Structure 1
Amino acid sequence: MNRKLSRRHFTLGALSLTGMGHAYAQSSASSAPQSAKPTSRTICFVGGYTKHGPPGGAGNGEGIAVFEMSRENGSLTPITTFTDIASPSFITLSKDHRFLYALSEISDFNKDGDGSVTAFAVDRSTGSLKKLNVVSSGGAVPAHLSIHHSGRYVLVANYMGGCVAVLPIRSDGSLGEATDVIHNTGPRQPERASDNPEGNFAVSDHSGSHPHMIHSDPSGRFVLADDAGLDRVYVWTLDLTTGTLKPAKKPYYDMLPGSAPRHFEFDRTGKILYNLCEQDSKVIVSTFNPSVGSITNLQSVSTVTSHFRGSTLAAEILISASGKFVYASNRLGDSLAVFKIADDGTLTLEDEVWMHADYGRAMMFDPSGEYLFCANQRSDAVTSFKVDKANGRLSFTENFTAVGSPTTFAFMNTEV
């Protein structure tokens, strides 16, 4: 259900629409205004943890909050909240923005102790959501989902379930039951990496397999998954007819023991892979061969500056639309790292920015790339930064948006 926010909590100001003046035709008789041209709006969806969450992970959120973003200053104005969903800690939009898919990071969806994935139809003129259906995620406590390059399947990483799943997308946007579920196995890894920042007491769960992200490469030939528990990057091909995963020639790549690979990004060529490791707060830069799916490491670079001391856990990684800069968020250290990309794909840390809040997790650019948003889970707030596209630097907008336990974003421009 969509719950309208009451006036006692928020006041929704008049929308400032650009490009809408009156055009007057001069004549000796009269001058009559022409019809104003409508403009699109930028909609921001924010998900996070609700009271119904993973074991020990309940949060203050109410569901999927929907906002309108000001293109003038990056502020968010509340529109509504879809409350009929448990802990939508990761969401994603289809390429055409017709559908939104949200996981529920829970372990009690069914008798098997799985999480779930909900499919929504999106009203592209307003951003409102209509639930289509809910299916099992294929394992407990899912942490990430994505839409395969083909647009035919949703891929899910089940963190506590130690598995990844493939869910078929039906013609109406709803989801079918899993066509494949793959369980990862491997030797137990240490809780901390050997190249930890000095004074880092934070640990990552290495009790078993914990897939934290799954996504296809830009060509769609391969599917990669970061397993933060086994310290591996898995590589498969996806049979588009059967919806099943087949290991690549080399099925996985070992990362530094204890480093906990969490999220990754490809550059626009699909030949450079940036992998963010949670526990030691490092970005591993690698070449990726899109013909065979092989990975060769080039560089390891810290997401915190050399003067940093203390506990931190890296969370999210992004590449600017220009392809010139990489951004990474650090929880506990509460900082955003800004890297410049060299011609060979390697990184140089250019700046470290305070989040102005606590435990920043997900980051995302708005569709224009003018603003970078950060979901600060423990502060129950979203903060935004103005992006200097020339040098990649971030400037705090001084805009705070109240959202309970936020962890994820999706943006779209409405249709006129």
Structure 2
Amino acid sequence: MSQSLSRRRFTLALAGLGAATALSPLRAAQAQKGPLPRILCFVGGYTEHGPPGGAGNGKGISVFEMDRDTGFLTPVATFMDIPSPSFITLSRNRKFLYALSEINDYDKAGSGSVTAFSVDTRNGTLAKINTVSSGGAVPAHLSVHPSGKYLLVANYMGGSVAVLPIHADGSLGKATDVVHNSGPKQPERAADNPEGNFAISDHSSAHPHMIATDPSGAFVLVDDAGLDRVYVWKLDLATGKLIPAQKPFYDMEPGSAPRHFVFDHSGRVLYNLCEQNSKVVVSKFDPQTGAITQIQSVSTVTSHFRGSTLAAEILIAESGRFVYVSNRLGDSLAVFSVGMDGTLTLEDEVWMHADYGRAMMFDPSGSFLFCANQRSDSVTAFRVDRETGKPVFMNHFTAVGSPTTFAFMVADS
């Protein structure tokens, strides 16, 4: 049964940042043929305390235990002492969790905030360490730099990206750098929309939507959905300052609203999901210079689709053979096969069985794919065929208020 917990202590285990980190305890247990440790799933989203127009039905961070055979999620607890934790991530050693609060009233400057938690990987105890400004209003995404020294934050309404130092105890310091993007105003819709798409993306100003490094950690990339650009920086590890790459940004289709990206396992192919026109832009990425060269643009909806849609999340399978995209409004899950050259072929479009699917994530075993359906206040689960890539709905609906983000973790035994 779900229960509310105190401000300072919360028994849980939280999601691994990368597949290798998340899978190591599971694989170790399998190799020893001993009892497998528990898999826990954590879901965050919008709470009553959110930005104007962004308040939701969530209570905070909800934790569930996942059944390994069915993917069924059983409620364990709810941590309520954080407003609108719409994105969370873990340090690579899983000792610290970082959760942004998608708000605009943390301080007098009207910024959002980021909270650091310590995590006991044996029993899952979570304790709040500290909370700091995100460096801008309404943060939308954060990631830990591979060095473990800095947390990177994208502030959507603030039009900025921030670098927060991570101290030895996992706590966060004041931003070492805050960069405000600027550029010409873009149209609300792209010219290559799906037919009948009336959905728009906010192009009133800069809106950084995702910040993360390439797999080598040499470059920091940012999708700016308001300026229709992909920015590329290097990070000075000594000063925590962002340094523009040789080519500091790349223009995308005007109005397309680049939202989230993922790399292939080689780090040389970049898949960039554009929200407004529901396209995946495939590019070659040079890990030496950070140069991006587009080679393909492919729709996330089938040719027979008509109407409004907004793409939301993009994932790549552990095998590297399939890419998955969630389509809001159209309420579908797009399945792409990956060619030898990295280009994509849309193989199927599966009904999400719920409304406004946003974040998606594989469980640590890679057997199940979960989707957070914001407007349906539910999480849906799919079993994924590793050979065909096809997701099969498991008829599981997990009730969660206004969900937007996932985290999984295999607990240490």
Q: Separation in 2 of the partners of 1:261 and 1:94? A: 26
Amino acid at match of 2:215: P
Of residues 100, 103, 119, the one that matches 1:103 is: 100
Q: Which runs of 5+ in 2 are unaligned?
A: 7-25, 27-32
Q: 2:167 matched to 1:167?
A: no
Tell me which residue corresponds to 2:277.
280
CA contact (8 A) 1:41 1:68 kept: yes
Pairing of 1:33-48 with structure 2 (within 5 A): 39-48=36-45
Q: 2:71 matched to 1:74?
A: yes
SS in 1 for 2:4: strand
Count matched residues.
Answer: 386
Amino acid at match of 2:138: V
Q: 2:217 matched to 1:223?
A: no
SS in 2 for 1:45: strand
CA contact (8 A) 2:332 2:349 kept: yes
Shift of 1:184: 0.3
CA contact (8 A) 1:4 1:79 kept: no
Amino acid at match of 2:78: T
Tell me which residue corresponds to 1:29.
none
Shift of 1:106: 0.2
Tell me which residue corresponds to 1:184.
181
Q: Separation in 2 of the partners of 1:75 and 1:38? A: 19
Tell me which residue corresponds to 2:390.
393
Q: Separation in 2 of the partners of 1:38 and 1:134? A: 37
CA pair 110-245 structure 1, distance change in 2 beyond 3 A: same
Pairing of 1:271-310 with structure 2 (within 5 A): 271-310=268-307
Q: Separation in 2 of the partners of 1:172 and 1:69? A: 30
Q: Separation in 1 of the partners of 2:314 and 2:293? A: 19
Pairing of 1:212-361 with structure 2 (within 5 A): 212-361=209-358
**Which of structures 1 and 2 has the bigger CA Rg?**
1
Shift of 1:125: 2.3
Amino acid at match of 1:42: I
CA contact (8 A) 2:321 2:338 kept: yes
Amino acid at match of 2:405: T
Of residues 122, 139, 144, the one that matches 1:147 is: 144
Percent of aligned pairs with the same amino acid: 73
Shift of 1:127: 2.8
Q: Which runs of 5+ in 1 are unaligned?
A: 6-17, 19-35
| Residues 148-171 of structure 1: CA deviation (Å, up to 9, x unaligned) | 121111100000000000011110
Amino acid at match of 2:394: T
Q: Separation in 1 of the partners of 2:297 and 2:34? A: 51
Of residues 202, 207, 216, the one that matches 2:204 is: 207
TM-score by length of 2: 0.92
Shift of 1:126: 3.1
| Residues 177-216 of structure 1: CA deviation (Å, up to 9, x unaligned) | 1000000000000000000000000000000000000001
Shift of 1:392: 0.3
SS in 2 for 1:55: coil
Amino acid at match of 2:92: K
Shift of 1:134: 0.3
CA contact (8 A) 1:375 1:406 kept: yes
Of residues 123, 127, 133, the one that matches 2:130 is: 133
Shift of 1:122: 1.3
Deviates more, 1:90-99 or 1:152-161: 90-99
Q: Separation in 2 of the partners of 1:327 and 1:122? A: 30
Deviates more, 1:72-81 or 1:307-316: 72-81
Of residues 40, 48, 53, the one that matches 2:50 is: 53
TM-score by length of 1: 0.91
Amino acid at match of 2:4: R
Shift of 1:94: 1.4
CA pair 329-179 structure 1, distance change in 2 beyond 3 A: same
SS in 2 for 1:71: coil
CA contact (8 A) 2:46 2:56 kept: yes
Say which structure, 1 or 2, has more relative contact order (CA 8 Å, 6+ apart).
2
Q: Separation in 1 of the partners of 2:5 and 2:84? A: 19
CA contact (8 A) 2:5 2:80 kept: no
Shift of 1:39: 3.6
